[in-house]
A and B are shown apart, each in its own frame.
Chain A
Amino acid sequence: MTSARTLIKENLDNPALLDDIADHDDLIMAGVNSGEMVRIALACERHLDREITDDELTRLKSVRAVADLLEQTGGS
């Protein structure tokens, strides 16, 4: 979960926003904007070294979901 939080934080205009977001909170409803979501998705692709599928993109809505995706390479 730590590396998922780090990845998300690095892609927020206001990184402190993440401190108030719980693992299962909806990132967008918590104030993350669409540009930041795009940067998070791109960072996940770079971490995984592959394109994220459409199904994975639609599920990428929380810290927990980002961690689950990153776990595919053993580093959440």
Chain B
Amino acid sequence: MIGQFVEALDQFIPVPAEFARYEFGLAAGARILAVDQNLLSAVTAEGMPFAMDSDEGLLFDHVDLINLAMFGSRSGQSIPELAMRYFLRFAASPPATWFGPREWLVRVRTPATPIGGDPTARFRMQRPDVAAPGVEILESDAPANGPPGYQIAVRLTGEEATVRDPVARAIYEEMLHALGSGAVIYQTVPEALRMDHRRAWNLRMADCVVVARSLAERLNDVGLRARARRGYLLALVGNDHSWCELYEDGRWKPLDVVFAHLAGIEAYGARAEFVSTCRGSRFNRLLPCDAPDATALVFLNDQPAPSWAQVGVSAQPWGS
């Protein structure tokens, strides 16, 4: 099994040292990978980036661990692989279900336990953009019990459309090809590097935020009106997702290169027509938030929260 994890080290780009946060110990890292600690030690000897702490021993960056799990597991059963399959399961449903009005109850909470044992840790969460097209608020309230957060009932209505502008389509296709060919690797990227999206793209590493910000910038550079959005994909859990929007025909049309890329991967089971739908259509399960330029959705002590400090996002049919 070690061989596939060692090979994986050549299949993703490790987090550059200046962006890395080596905070996860050997035991925690092995749990993420669902492997023995000895195996992770052996992979470290083969090139997995780490820091050595005199008290805690080997420490790893959480993003590197997630990428190692995603590229090294190859079982289809690691948590990152399964999560991706569940998030995209809607793309296997009939296309008619992607656009019609759908009512959701969305609940968002901060982590239940203090981060790093710090009881003064303060979280701030970007709220849904209720002024966005296709978003209609039905009810809004704070949860009665538990950690701070919010809950909102929304009606999300999708729209089937296609981006017509040939320049926009060419840039979109170029970026989609970059991911598909492996010229740029689709992988997890730390939040700080997401905000330096040009550097990330030049390093050949991109996730949905890097792609959305890069595409919006390229479209703006050629004189088109575009913006990067960020919000939640509502599925088994609410998942942080980012996409680009182009203003055309008097309305904002989404351009989702990452959805199109993932839909092209057979293991995720998306319908063939889903790929072209990502070039202009709005889905009824993407809840945009007030996050200008696709900046972070969650802040910890006024800094973008690290990848491991995840909020809980629950989404289910409203009234169920």
Taking beta carbons and an 8 Å cutoff, which residues of A are in contact with B? Answer: 26-35, 37-39, 41-42, 51-55, 57-61
A34 and B82 within 8 A (CB)? no
Chain B residue nearest to A32 in the complex (CB): B312
Indicate if the CB atoms of A29 and B314 lie closer than 8 Å.
yes
Question: Which residues of the other chain, A, contact B310 by a CB distance below 8 angstroms?
Answer: 33-34
Question: Which of B203-211, B233-241, B257-265 contacts its partner?
Answer: B233-241
Residue of B nearest to A60 (CB): B236
A28 touches B89 (CB 8 A): no
Report A-chain residues with C-beta under 8 Å of the C-beta of B237.
28, 34, 37
> In the bound complex, what is the Cα–Cα distance between A37 and B79 (angstroms)?
10
Verify if B193 is at the interface (C-beta below 8 Å from A).
no
- Chain B residues whose C-beta falls within 8 Å of the C-beta of A27 in the assembled complex: 314
Question: Quick check: A59 and B320 within 8 Å, CB to CB?
Answer: yes
The answer to whether B312 touches A29, judged by C-beta atoms less than 8 angstroms apart, is yes
- Size of chain B's interface in residues, with CB distance under 8 A? 30
A58 B314 Cβ-Cβ under 8 A: no
B residues 275-305 near A (Cβ < 8 Å) are none
In the complex, chain B residues whose CB is within 8 Å of the CB of A41: 82, 86, 236
Residues of chain A with a CB closer than 8 A to B149's CB: 29
Q: Name the residue on A nearest B236 (C-beta).
A: A57
Cβ of A54 and Cβ of B234 under 8 Å apart? Answer: no
Q: Are A61 and B93 also in contact (CB < 8 A) when A29-B146, A39-B79 are?
A: no
Known A42-B77, A54-B93, A54-B235; judge A26-B314 contact (CB<8 A).
yes
Give the Cβ gap from A55 to chain B, nearest Cβ, in Å: 8
Chain A residues, Cβ within 8 Å of B234: 58
Q: How far is the CA of A61 from the CA of B112 in the complex (A)?
A: 17
Whether A29 lies near B109 (C-beta < 8 A) is yes
Bound-state CA distance A25–B146 (Å) is 11
Which of A28, A32, A42, A58 contacts B107 (CB under 8 A)? A28
Which label, helix, strand, loop or mixed, suits the secondary structure of the B interface? mixed
Known: A41-B236, A42-B77, A59-B317. A33 touches B89 (CB 8 A): no
B312 close to A54 (CB less than 8 A): no
Question: How many whole Å from A62's CB to the nearest CB in chain B?
Answer: 9
Contacts of A31 in B (CB 8 A): 112-113, 312
- Residue B153 lies at the interface, judged by CB distance under 8 Å to chain A: no
Indicate whether B316 reaches chain A with its CB closer than 8 angstroms. yes
**Complex formed: what's the CA distance from A53 to B316 in Å?**
14
Contacts of B236 in A (CB 8 A): 37-38, 41, 57-58, 60
Given A26-B107, A58-B317, A59-B316, 7 extra CB contacts under 8 A: A28-B107, A33-B310, A37-B237, A41-B82, A41-B86, A52-B89, A57-B236
Please indicate the chain A residues that have their CB under 8 angstroms from the CB of B314 in the complex.
Answer: 26-29, 61
Residues of chain B within 8 A of A38, CB atoms compared: 79, 82-83, 86, 236
Of all A-B residue pairs in the complex, the 7 with the closest CB atoms, nearest first, are: A28-B314, A31-B112, A54-B89, A28-B312, A54-B90, A34-B237, A57-B236
**Docked pose: A27 CA to B237 CA in angstroms:** 10
A51: chain B residues at CB < 8 Å are 89
> For residue B143, which residues in chain A have a CB less than 8 angstroms away from its CB?
29
The reply on B9 being an interface residue by CB < 8 A is: no
Neighbour of B235 across the interface among A32, A33, A58, CB < 8 A: A58
